[in-house]
Amino acid sequence: MQDLFVGKPYGEEAKFAARAVSMAAKLCREIRGEMVTQSLEKSDRSPVTVADFASQAVVARLLMDTYPQDPLIAEEASQTLRAAEGAKTLEAVTAYVARIHEGAESEEVCRWIDHGDGKTADRFWTLDPIDGTKGFLRGDQYVTALALLEADQVVVGALGCPNLNHQIEPEIGGEGVVVVAIRGQGCWALSMEGKSLGKLSVSTITDPGQARVLRSFESGHTDSGKLEQIIERLATAHPPVLMDSQAKYALMAAGKGDLLFRLLSPAQPGYVEKIWDQAAGLIVVEEAGGKVTDLRGTSLDFTCGRGLTENIGVLASNRRLHDDALEIVRSIGADRRLKAD
């Protein structure tokens, strides 16, 4: 990795991001392996809670050491850990964080987590410590996603993907991979140890009938009815690829998928995407040659704080299929906000 980014603008930030998400993703994998048993109920979120907080603490501490002036906007806050009922969870989080930051104490860990309560600035980072909560619990796909924004634009993004292999294909418990991108310079795959696995490029498919649609494993995350209409109108010969998390963006960057639709769910008509859910995935796809907009074809707007309040859903593609996909989205009315019941 030293040679890969040497001398590049934002090269040091890219090395940092790749290292941070690799460390956090590997720690999440350890936590899941040690805390999840066959008797775990699906409603028991304790392992993912511990992993979320531990992952955020690890990355935040690294950021504080490396770029102390840069704010961080992240998903978690330590308030629940500081409460009496959170004491056991905090103890577990601290023990896992101490595997990386030796001697870590509970108060320090809470302070590192709360470093993620930053505000947008001319330059700031955004983190999703575990993107794909249900995938994590099922032992399927999840990622740690970190991105750097400067002048309202994503300039570096990294995805730590513990359940993708070096060919950027799903492999549960496999080697794991990091996908990292720098604005204007490209997108690369790295091993979890930082070895370059090559530059990534989206597919060259132009025929909607050959499109491979990447969709969320959880039907509640989308409008299943409208998504089925889109797939029917594409007349694609391929069944949708079901996958949690921004790992879908890694597959698209590697040419293993062509279209991704984030439709508004009827159950959450007012839902607004969070910046940490999209920033790293966006630059990974764009720097591999793809395109990311909202469902109206508008660029994602990262100027509104923690949420993409000016956007409706997300459409990502290999660029060649983007206009066709937007036309289908418009034709079924999926480009408009839903009315609450």
- Catalytic residues, by residue number, are 52, 133
For 265-277, give the DSSP string: PTT-TT---BHHH
**Cβ-based neighbour number of residue 184 at 10 Å:** 11
Neighbours of 59 (CB within 10 A): 30
Element (H, E) at 153: strand 153-161
Kind of pairing, strands 72-74 and 153-161? unpaired
CB contact at 8 A, 244 and 142 = yes
Classify strands 153-161 and 177-182 as parallel, antiparallel or unpaired: antiparallel
**Packing angle of the helix pair 87-97, 46-66 (nearest 10 deg):** 50
Distance CA 101, CA 68 (A): 17
What Cα–Cα distance (Å) separates residue 170 from each residue in 144, 243, 331? 16, 9, 33
For residue 170, how far is the Cα from the chain centroid? 16
How far apart CA 31 and CA 41 sit, in angstroms, is: 16
The C-alpha atoms of residue 153 and residue 132 are separated, in whole angstroms, by 24
